[in-house]
Amino acid sequence: MTTLEADFQSRGVGIDKAREAVAFYTKEYQRQSALMQTGFTTKARLQEAEHALSEARSQLAAAEAEAPKRIAFTAGFGGTLAMDREMEAICAREVRRFEALGAVVEEAHPELGDLNEAFLVLRSQHFVVDREKILLEHRDKLKPDIIWQTERGLKETTSRLAWAEHERRRFFISMRDLFKRYDVLITPGAATPAFDVMLRAPESIGGKKLDNYMGGSLINAFATLAGCPAVAVPCGFDQYGRPIGLHIVAPPRQDARALQVAALFEKMSGLDKLLPIAPRPGSVPPAESA
Across the beta sheet with 243-249, the strand order is 104-107, 70-73, 184-188, 243-249, 230-237
pLDDT at 4: 41
Length of the chain: 290
Question: What stretch of H or E contains 247?
Answer: strand 243-249
- CATH, domain range 1-64: 1.10.287
Predicted model pTM:
0.77
- What is the C-alpha R_g of the chain? 22
Q: How many CB atoms lie within 10 A of CB 157?
A: 9
pLDDT in tens, the chain (290 residues): 444 444 444 444 567 888 888 999 999 999 999 998 888 888 888 899 998 898 888 777 766 767 899 999 999 999 999 999 999 999 999 999 999 989 999 999 999 999 999 999 999 999 999 999 999 999 999 999 999 999 999 999 999 999 999 999 999 999 999 999 999 999 999 999 988 888 888 888 988 899 888 889 999 999 999 999 999 999 999 998 899 999 999 999 999 899 999 989 988 898 878 777 777 777 778 877 76
Q: CATH 3.90.1300.10 occupies which residues in the chain?
A: 68-271
**CATH number of this structure's domain 68-271, picked from the four choices 3.20.80.10, 3.40.50.1480, 3.90.1300.10, 3.40.50.2300:** 3.90.1300.10
Three-class secondary structure of residue 255 per DSSP:
helix
Q: CATH 1.10.287 occupies which residues in the chain?
A: 1-64
